Chains A and B, each alone.
Chain A
């Protein structure tokens, strides 16, 4: 089983991100379970969502306490909570930021992880460029596929289009592809 925890703020599509991730895994024939943190969601408040991916039925219903990967949609959360809590040794970290890990104040922790398991991508900028709105979730899915190799980009593309039709779907897929390529090149 591969477990992903997504941290962000209300309005950034944190819950949709987990949903689309589960759809992408489903399209690859996997079992996948996505669920929100069940908080009182408010715009700007910290929100957590979860996704589990496995080859067999997923029965577990506890929140993800020991993720294999964390996606941080909002780097200001580092001051608010320990987003890396329980992260598996050798786990993956994907951060939505154009700033360096030193600037973000997290380089000490990230140094404990394999270098190729850690990446930052300016997903908000890519979303503004391709979608016209600062919603980084779809771009980060592209980045997730690249850094973990757990999903084919083709499935991410299909999952995004299942959630968003028409031009919004096209824009989000373009943002995801740009992030996918940026992370692969990093």
Chain B
């Protein structure tokens, strides 16, 4: 049914259609509306046979999820930012144990400096933990990906993160087609756990493994991720056959056929990038877009197949590895080894910095002329940066950077300017 609905509530409804049996969560912006939404549905009886557990922290949320998933319950949770960091140990454990938990990340920056706005640093911090990571471009895709995520997780016995841009998607009202319960039931069979803690047939999960077998267990976890490269497109095809929509899969391409420049990105900014590309195409630029849906596993060969005919690639990403450069770009570069296609990195949208068509068009034109430095920070205010560098040079006790810059910009301490 078509609804004009907040992204968070669309996801809550979509999760409820998957008939989760345990939901545990700890509130943190910007994912709070999602768990509030499913909580309301449990309380009202709209979502039956589901236990909603309030916990005392994110570490507890995922620990409870690990327990309930190991006991054979379809389990869901959601978090963001520092919340994901606080559950980090359990994130690795859920993956290492092979428990098919589905977790939404309402993507948000990580402090310090504390910042509630969107970027991808939180999800990227857990990229190597063994979870599948799917990035949604729209709220429709976010809703659809959750239905696919449970199917994917349970088929492979691997946990799945559905990553959606905090505020930009979670708090946006737009039209979303919420599927019928009967169709979701058709698509997503009841959970048959590969492993289960059952008192009538007791065994343990979570053995200590020494050097003699640790590599093999880890390799098999890697192997399941590689298997997911085949499963993800298949379940997206099955989804399309039943629901009639293209959602999910490994990646989306847009106007790449004859493109000399290809922008690689992920998440909701792909929409703004496509609008920018349309405008540039009208002026004769041969430019296209690849938006990555599955970041883990990383679709190395499909990406290479699309990008190798281009003259150059720019990866536009909302995170970066301090002291190195782009994280997504690094993965793309590895995929492009030996092709000779140059890969530029553009870091954008950190801590909620707006990404506009105007800035993107200037950036992409520069890329088209091969004039960009290898790692570029979109709309970075060099004057502010240089003044702080000067202050640090002039005094060994110049004080905290964040506060100095707020003072420099004439914003009081702790006053963040709305964007």
- On A, residues with C-beta under 8 Å from B are 18-19, 22-23, 26-27, 31-40, 46-48, 58-63, 65
Contact = CB atoms under 8 A, between A and B. Distances in A.
Query: Counting chain A CB atoms within 10 Å of each CB, which of B6, B174, B354, B355 scores highest?
Result: B174
6 contacts: A35-B167, A59-B270, A60-B275, A60-B357, A62-B272, A62-B357
Contact of A38 (B4, B171, B272, B355): B171
A1 to B, nearest CB: 10
Interface string B114-125: 001110000000
A58 B6 CA distance: 15
Contacts of A65: 356
A114 B171 CA distance: 34
Nearest to A31: B175
A23 B4 contact: yes
Contacts of B175: 26, 31-32
B355 A61 contact: yes
Contact of B173 (A33, A39, A46, A59): A33
B171 A35 contact: yes
Contacts of B356: 62, 65
B174 A58 contact: yes
Interface of B: 4, 6, 116-118, 138, 167-168, 171-175, 268-272, 274-275, 352, 354-357, 416-419
A37 B275 CA distance: 21
Given A33-B172, A35-B173, A62-B356, A40 B272 contact: no
A33 B417 CA distance: 23
Query: Shortest 6 CB-CB distances between A and B: which pairs?
Result: A39-B418, A59-B271, A26-B4, A34-B173, A35-B172, A38-B167
A36 B171 contact: yes
A153 to B, nearest CB: 18
Contacts of A40: 116, 416, 418
Contacts of A46: 418
Contact of A61 (B116, B168, B173, B417): B168
Nearest to B356: A62
Contact of A62 (B4, B6, B174, B354): B354
A53 to B, nearest CB: 11
Given A22-B4, A46-B418, A60-B357, A33 B174 contact: yes
A37 B354 CA distance: 11
Given A19-B173, A62-B354, A62-B356, A37 B271 contact: no
A33 B176 CA distance: 11
Contacts of B357: 60, 62
Given A38-B418, A38-B419, 8 more contacts: A19-B6, A23-B4, A31-B174, A38-B167, A38-B168, A59-B270, A59-B274, A62-B354
B4 A61 contact: no
A59 B276 CA distance: 10
Nearest to A58: B174
A63 B173 contact: no
A22 B173 contact: yes
Nearest to A51: B173
Contacts of B272: 59-62
A59 B116 contact: no
B269 A61 contact: yes
Contacts of B171: 35-36, 38
B271 A32 contact: no
A155 to B, nearest CB: 11
B25 to A, nearest CB: 22
Contacts of B168: 35, 38, 61
B167 A61 contact: no
A46 B417 CA distance: 10
Contacts of A32: 4, 173-175
A38 B269 CA distance: 16
Contacts of A47: 418
A34 B418 contact: no
A18 B171 CA distance: 12
Contacts of A36: 167, 171
A6 to B, nearest CB: 13
A106 B266 CA distance: 43
Given A32-B174, A38-B171, A61 B416 contact: no
A39 B171 CA distance: 12
Given A19-B173, A32-B175, A34-B173, A61 B419 contact: no
Contacts of B117: 38
A37 B173 contact: no
Nearest to A50: B172
Contact of A37 (B116, B174, B418): B418
A63 B354 CA distance: 7
A59 B137 CA distance: 9
A62 B355 contact: yes
A82 B177 CA distance: 38
A71 to B, nearest CB: 16
Contacts of B274: 59
A61 B4 CA distance: 17
B12 to A, nearest CB: 16
Query: Counting chain B CB atoms within 10 Å of each CB, which of A22, A38, A40 scores highest?
Result: A38
A92 B173 CA distance: 23
B418 A48 contact: yes
A130 to B, nearest CB: 25
A22 B173 CA distance: 7
Contacts of A35: 167-168, 171-173
Given A47-B418, A61-B168, A61-B269, A23 B173 contact: yes
